[in-house]
Structure 1
């Protein structure tokens, strides 16, 4: 195969994995408007609903922790293809659950399928980055945000018009169609794992865990803004509900836009410099939000924070998939598990702390986590690419 053909395949693979990010975000975003329906349909309390959502997260984290083994053995293309097809049915399974017990089981399965697909698509994006010798991880995550926006934005209208079950069936059909189109062009690593069968074991390289800590410290503030920013603006800054809701909207909107611009920035300035500047911007924005005397100033600071946070996790993921002596799947599995654990654990811990000291000190403290990422930025040098970097 000549060089032009290889490059053409790499470009198609890049857009195929971008489609997978979009589909994963679309399914996840479509789940959000189903949540109130589940509450009413099963006649459960908010506390019970919270436990069901926690089961979704637990299923995702467990699947993420062992998905790296499957990728090392079978390759990211095969694992992504299989889990993407299975994940397309996840929302439909939850929508069909007739009682609390089956809903709990389907939530674990749904979370596990989404989590495994997440690890596999991030790993495949690393393979595409190597083939192209340039960064694509940030824009890939941008496609995830775009998919979530489409799924969440159209979901409420779909449920109101067709009912929750028909909506879930439509989401499944759309997702399967997208997966089948993308599967044909996904990039393969070649012969994963060589002739030896990989064993399930934790990496011994301590650097991968340091990168996991960076992902954790980057994703915890993101989860805090998602869960608590609106309440902070209402309770401590006196904002009305409409104004308070703009905090996460501004944060996530800016973050999505910056993710589409992030690859060009990283290709120009390198992963370390981009992460260092991003962490500084994020820490400054989070600190400003915690010190803000008025709602609109806090909203502006949260948006500024989103500029920085947007590309921090994609850079950490690229670094995780390019460590010496560790397969891309295993490295990605460790870092995604550690990172997403922050989003699952942080909300309850932050809520407990805020109940005693208020949200302002919490957001000020979270800026300290982002400063730590700033100081650790040199650990992501492996996120950069060269034309001679191997594709395996």
Structure 2
């Protein structure tokens, strides 16, 4: 029988690999764009395959998390996701790339619910708060993925062997560490209740995750292109790297920050950091202002998603698995809808102007979080 430490270690590996896989291919988006001769709108259309796939996968992922131990969809989803990294690299036509991204997003949809449900279950078994550090490991994996990509770009290693290497490592790690994941975690009750009419509690949380994820997803896919085309930086991964580094550092500290400031103030601070960071990078599109601005966006987005997942797991209406399924849907759609939206705005106006969408998304955290905590206070039992 696995100990809590073994289970936490195995889950930590999956969070890390998830970030590494995602950053590995998104770091190559400028290469993909150039290889397929895509303009911003065409790239945005191709990226739209991901949120569409995520929405299609909603009933499947919800059914899996209600019927099986979460380690099963986590392992299967991760294996398919790892294979899709190679498929993305091998795609030589827009249609092939759309198919690869569709499968990549579908598999990510499946394992994302499982990985976050396991994180909440492990935290409930412990007297420590560590869900923020799990998401910090996701960001750390992203940093490692960007750093690895940057090294290979410097060494002029082609994209295909790069992404195939990532696939092989991820497949091997999945097969090895899946045996130590948490078992017997099918919820005994509450899983059959559908989400046809989610309550206001989950709707507000879903919107918070959505707007934070729009910023994250857009920064993942477009920060490299922004540094390449607007900042005119030859090492175009610099902005992406500083964003991920600051997000990771903040996530490792997020549990202590929340304890110190409270969740309401943390949401407020997060929204303001995102807005100010984007404003700085857009108004002063040179190297250091953009680096400082992207670091502020990293700090701003860091705590929102792990904090909101924790609140979702405390739902009194739905089990943790179903509540997380709903919240993850908003998060994945936001993360994957942000990039095509930026592509269309950039084509219609300019890439620099399109980044204002992130500033607006950051500001939306303020009124929505205020409405959520007002609802929470009203629902609390009166003394």
What do the CA deviations read for 1:216-235 (whole angstroms, capped 9, x no partner)?
22122334444556776788
One of 172, 185, 204 as aligned partner of 2:180: 185
Unmatched 5+ residue regions in structure 1?
384-392
Q: 1:334 aligns to what SS in structure 2?
A: helix
Q: 1:89 aligns to what SS in structure 2?
A: helix
One of 152, 164, 171 as aligned partner of 1:176: 171
Q: 1:184 aligns to what SS in structure 2?
A: helix
Q: 2:307 aligns to what SS in structure 1?
A: helix
One of 105, 116, 119 as aligned partner of 1:125: 119
One of 212, 218, 242 as aligned partner of 1:218: 212
> 1:271: which partner in 2?
263
Alignment of 1:239-254 (within 5 A): 239-242=231-234, 246-254=238-246
> Which whole-Å CA distance do the structure 1 matches of 2:169 and 2:360 have between them?
42
Does residue 262 of the first structure (1) align with residue 291 of the second (2)? no
Pairwise CA distance, 1:208: 0.9
Unmatched 5+ residue regions in structure 2?
377-383
What do the CA deviations read for 1:19-77 (whole angstroms, capped 9, x no partner)?
1111222222333466677678xx84425665544324432443256413311221322
One of 124, 132, 148 as aligned partner of 1:154: 148
Asked if the contact 1:224–1:347 (Cα under 8 Å) also holds between the matched residues in 2, the reply is yes
* CA distance 1:136–1:218, change in 2 (3 Å): same
Pairwise CA distance, 1:10: 2.9
One of 78, 85, 99 as aligned partner of 1:84: 78
Asked if the contact 2:143–2:244 (Cα under 8 Å) also holds between the matched residues in 1, the reply is no
Q: 1:241 aligns to what SS in structure 2?
A: coil
Asked if the contact 2:206–2:331 (Cα under 8 Å) also holds between the matched residues in 1, the reply is yes
Asked if the contact 1:283–1:370 (Cα under 8 Å) also holds between the matched residues in 2, the reply is yes
- TM (normalized to structure 1)? 0.77
One of 361, 366, 369 as aligned partner of 1:374: 366
What root-mean-square deviation, in Å, do the aligned CA atoms of Structure 1 and Structure 2 show?
A: 4.0
* CA distance 1:64–1:30, change in 2 (3 Å): farther
Asked if the contact 1:73–1:193 (Cα under 8 Å) also holds between the matched residues in 2, the reply is no
* CA distance 1:353–1:54, change in 2 (3 Å): closer
> 2:335: which partner in 1?
343
- Paired residues, what number? 372
> 1:389: which partner in 2?
none
What do the CA deviations read for 1:326-367 (whole angstroms, capped 9, x no partner)?
122222222222223233333444455566666777656644
> Which whole-Å CA distance do the structure 2 matches of 1:301 and 1:337 have between them?
28
* CA distance 1:356–1:112, change in 2 (3 Å): closer
Pairwise CA distance, 1:211: 0.8
- TM (normalized to structure 2)? 0.78
Asked if the contact 2:24–2:146 (Cα under 8 Å) also holds between the matched residues in 1, the reply is yes
Pairwise CA distance, 1:255: 1.3
